[in-house]
Amino acid sequence: MSVQLRFAARSDVGAVRKNNQDAGYAGPHLLVLADGMGGAAGGDTASSVTVSKLSELDDIHRADDLLPMLRETVTEAHDELVAMATDDPALKGMGTTCIALMRSGNKLAMVHIGDSRAYLLRGDSLIQVTKDHTLVQYLVDHGQITPEEAENHPKKNVIMRALGDTEGEVELDESVREAVVGDRWLLCSDGLFGVVSNETIAHTLLHYANLEKCVSRLIELALAGGAPDNVTVVLADILDDREISGANAPSQIPVVVGSASAEFESGKSKRPVRTGDVADPNCVEDDEAPKKKKWPARLAVLIGVFVLLAGGIFGAWFWTQSQYYVYSADGNVGIYRGVPQALGPIELSHLDERTDLQIEDLTQTAQRRLEEPVTHSSREDAENYVSDLEDEFLRDQIVENEEQKEADDATEDPTETPSPVDGSNEDPADEPSQTPPPRSDSGGQPTESDTQPEETP
């Protein structure tokens, strides 16, 4: 039996964000979702680059080649993001999550990194297939907090693994599964599951047979919940080839949404695609700029020129004071207001806050970033950047403590065996062995085996 995918995708900027840093792709053989991070530092760039590179894999491949191809392409995207951040200081700190699901025949291969999620609806049950690579999930796994506490934890958005955020090898979760007819797959960013419960998501997936209407309804639910983040949904049904006719045949034209759609529309990609984004009101250009009035009197012209010059100077100064950057402040991380420049003896910036975070406590990568000022367009972006540095420090402390604990456990001394009494002339060989005996080790609905990944070589 052969299968096909019927797919749909949609993305929305949400109710709070100014730009869309999510990206999604849905095609006949491939589903991809990426949630960029880094604020003004280029989260939209990170997600767009990742989705664009992976979209090139949307073709027919051997099942055995699926995971190696996904792994190689994701690694290439990671390396490109790291190189871009190295060449352009404005992009330092960017990164992205990524989920990619690729089909060959009736096999599905998946790679995953970050906190975006893949869900599987089989029958009436909704199953979360991926595990979040977040700080709170780490704390839950180690019994330090409960899943209920994780829902409202102040650090629930701290990601432990992502693409492009740091140099080094990419650590992906990988799996291969059967493509079961009747299954419905959902890839989504935290803009959906962060405000819409799993029960509501499951109810929507069950009661909307039409994929286009289903993705639109999920977006509406996220917006009704406040949508503090971008919301992206990629949806696909597994169909039996034998039940497909010309009337109900699925579209073979891929759908691109979010930040990646601009790259396809610009012509950088030659693949024919559809875009499924909700219109972003912040991207609307005003073609009807007000026309300047013409002053008939020369005096009025001179006055106007003077006002413009004065206004320009004041506007330039006002603009510099609306900018911020993060840089070293006497050994600590500091937030500066202004721009890191001077006009002769006049400095165009001043220290606005000296944080408690010490430079020497940061990772080597973070310390290299702060060898030069890291500029931001608002105080909020600067604070978010410092918060990310604090999160990296906290994450490294947890990992370091775990490694130290393992090292301490490995070096514990065994129980000492009592020495013979001094002066004893007995031959130790005549005595029974004092070595203690060795200790033994203690050792329809979908089933668990249906949803477990197959082992791959």
Residues 115 and 191 in one domain: yes
Q: What is the pLDDT of residue 275?
A: 67
Q: In this model, does residue 285 exceed pLDDT 50?
A: no
Residues 272 and 377 in one domain: no
Q: What is the pLDDT of residue 410?
A: 76
Confirm whether 217 is domain-assigned: yes
pLDDT band at 439 (very low <50, low <70, confident <90, very high): very low
pLDDT band at 413 (very low <50, low <70, confident <90, very high): low
158-209 pLDDT, tens per residue?
899 999 988 888 999 999 999 999 999 999 999 999 999 999 999 999 999 9
Count CB-CB contacts under 10 A for residue 451. 18
DSSP 246: T
pLDDT band at 283 (very low <50, low <70, confident <90, very high): very low
Burial of 128: CB neighbours in 10 Å, binned 0-12, 13-18, 19+: middle
75-88 pLDDT, tens per residue?
999 999 999 999 99
Confirm whether 39 is domain-assigned: yes
**The dihedral of CA 42, 24, 156, 96: what is its sign?**
negative
Q: Where are the strands (E) in 30-189, listed by range?
A: 30-37, 95-96, 98-104, 107-113, 117-122, 125-128, 173-178, 184-188
pLDDT band at 277 (very low <50, low <70, confident <90, very high): low
Number of domains in the chain: 2
Residue 138 near residue 159 (C-beta atoms within 8 A):
no
Alpha-carbon torsion angle 96, 99, 102, 106, nearest 10: 180
Terminal Cα-to-Cα distance of the chain (whole angstroms): 25
Domain end among 403, 420, 435: 403
What percent of the chain is predicted at pLDDT more than 70? 77
Residues 21 and 138 in one domain: yes
What is the average per-residue pLDDT within 343-367?
A: 85
Mean pLDDT of the chain: 82
Residues 57 and 159 in one domain: yes
Residues 223 and 339 in one domain: no
Q: In this model, does residue 224 exceed pLDDT 50?
A: yes
Per the rule left: phi > 0, alpha: psi between -120 and 50, beta: everything else, 331 is: left
Domain end among 383, 403, 423: 403
Q: What is the pLDDT of residue 403?
A: 76
CATH number at residue 214: 3.60.40.10
Mean pLDDT: which of 262-271, 332-341, 436-445 is highest? 332-341
Q: What pTM was computed for the model?
A: 0.63
Query: Of residues 449 and 343, which shows the higher confidence score?
Result: 343
